[in-house]
Structure 1
C-alpha cells in the first residue's frame, strides 16, 4: 500500500504516540532547526514551519482527531484503488488479448523470395519518379497549379481593354486580395474538463464538518490550492474547471491521477464560486470532492457525533 505522508511523519513519531512523546520530538526538532540557531538558512526555516504546523495539529485533541480521520480516509481510498487492478496494472475482470509474435523469417529465405526483389525494384522506381517531379516541377505541373494568385490576370485584362482599374469586377479584386493573405498560425489544442457541483443539503455522514483543512490550518479565505500539498503532474496540456456556482457550500477538491494512483492537486472552492485548475500534463484523472459543512450546520453535526458516541458507549456497557 502507498504510504500517506502525515504530521506524524513530520515529527518522526508513531501515530499512536502519547502527548509527552510528541512534545519531546517537537522540542528536539526545534533545537535543531530553530532560526536562531540557523541564521539565514532558508531550508531550516522551511522545516521549522512544517514542524510547527505538525505540532499545532497533534497537540490539539480535536485537530489531531480530525487529522487521524483524514489519514484513515486517504488510506482507504488508496487501498480501494489498489484492489481494483491486478499485478499488471489492468482492471480486475478484464482479459488482455494479444497477437502472438510471429517467428522471424531467415534472411536467406527472404533473398530467395521474388516478392522481396519486386518490392525493392518498385521502391526504386517510385523514388526516381518522385525525384523527377521535384526537379522538373515548373514544366511537369499544370499552369493552374503553378500559378499563385490573380493580380497579373487582372492587370493584363485591364491593360488590353483600356478600362479603368476601378471598373474591375469586385469578385476579381476579392480573389486577388485573398491570395495576398498570410497563412494562419498553427493552433495548439488544450484539453479542458469541467466539473459542475450540484446543489445539495449538508450531510453529517459524508461531508467535512471541520473548522480546519486536512493540513491542520484554517480553510482558505479564497478559492485556490491548499498549502502544504505537492504540486504534481505539471504541464500545459490540460485544464480542469470546478464550477461550484450552484452549491451553497464550499468544497474540498482532489485531482487524482488514475495511472499513478495518487492525488496531484488539493484545492478549496468557495460556495457559489469557481476555480480553474491549470498547468496539468496530459493523462487520466478523476476529480473528487466533498462538501464542507459551515455555520450552524457544523454545530448540528458535532452534536449528532457526540450523541452517536454516547449511544455507542451505552450499548457497549449494557
Structure 2
C-alpha cells in the first residue's frame, strides 16, 4: 500500500503539531513558494494553492478532525466519508524534497531531555559554543549575605535569653521573630544548596534558532520566529543602577528576564535581530541544513509539551525541613536556658537605675544600744531557722510578684545581721510582701516586684533596734523597645564617730 499523502505532509509538520507550529510552517512556505517570489516557476501557483488548501484544513479544528479521521481510514485500508478531503498529489520541493520540522517552544526538566539535547545544552552553559549570547541570570552572593545576617538572630536569641527573663509576651515575640528568621533562612539556604548541585544554574541564552532560559535543572526555550515584541525597564534606586528587566513576547505568551549591565540589553536586541534575519533567510531559501545544524532541541519536537518539574524539589523540601528542625531545637534550648535566669529582670533595654542610696540621705542602722531585756532570737518569728546566707526566710509568703523591678539591700558596711521586710504601703493597710535575712557584710536583691509604693523595715539582730526607710515608688514604663523599670540599691551603714541618721519605729509598726 502506497504511503498516504496528507495535508501535514504538504505543510511539512508532524500530525501532533500545535496551531502555532502550523501557522509558522504556513508562513515559511508562503515566503518560499509565493508566485510573486517565483515568477520563473510555472508550478508556483499550483504549489501555493496546495499550501493554502492544507492550511485551511489544518487551521480549522473541525476540518482537521475530519482529515485525521480520513488519514486513519486510509491507513487501515477502509473507505471513509472524508474521502473528498484527500489532499492533492505531493508538492514538488526545490530542496530535493528534503523536509525539516519547524522549531517549537518547549519546557523540560534537564533529566528528561534526550541525550543529544543535554549534551548541546552543557556546551552552551559552559560557554564552549561561539554562535550564542550567554547572559548570567542570577547568583547566590546575596543569599550568602542574607544567611549570615539571619544566623546572627540566633546568636542574639541566646544573648537575650542570658540577659533577662522572658515574660509571656516576650516569649511570643521571640517565637514569632524566630519563625520569620527561620523561613527566610530556609529560603536562602535552599537556593544556595540547589545552586551548587544544579547541572545548569541560571542563564539566558540567545542562539540561532532559540531563546533559552535555564533555571537550576529546568529548561525553557522559545523559537526565534515566535518573538513578536521586546522591551526593557532599566531599574534605578536613588540614582544607582540595579539591573534591567526585559519583557519578551512570544506570540500570545510573555516572559520576563533580569539582565545586567545596562548595555547588555542593546547587545541582546542586536543579536536577536541577527538571528531572526538568518532564520528568515534560511526558511525562504529552503536551507534545511541551517535548521538541522542549529536545532539544539530537534529530538524534543516529538515529545509531548509539558511543564518542566524540577528534580531538585525534594532537595529544597529537605533544606526547609532541616532548617526548621534545627531552629526549633535552638529555640527550645534558648527557652530552657532562659528559665535558669529567674532571678534576673526581663527588660528589652537598660533599666532606669537609681543612685546609691535611693533617698538623698544615707540609711543607717539605729544607734548600737542594746534594748533592755533583749536577747538575739535563735530562730525567725515563725520558728524557721535563720538562713545560713542572705535569702528569704522560709515559711513567709512572697507576694507582689510578676513585675520587672528589683531592690538591693546592701549590708556590706555593717558587722550586725539584719532581719528585713519589704512592705507594701500603697493600700489602706501596710503589709510585708517579702521577708528576708542578710548577714553582716552581705547584701540581698529582691526581684520581680510589682508596681507600687513601698518602704523597707528591718531589725538589727544584735541590738534589737528597729528602723525603716523613706517610702519609694516602683515604676514600669513600656516602650516600643521593651520595658523601663526600677532598679535601686539601699545601703545600711554607720556614720563615723557614732553619729547616725536613724528612722526608728516602734515594735507595732514592724
Q: TM exceeds 0.5? A: no
The structure whose residues are more often helix, as a share, is: 1
Larger radius of gyration: 2
Superposition TM-score, scaled by structure 2 size: 0.20
The structure whose residues are more often strand, as a share, is: 2
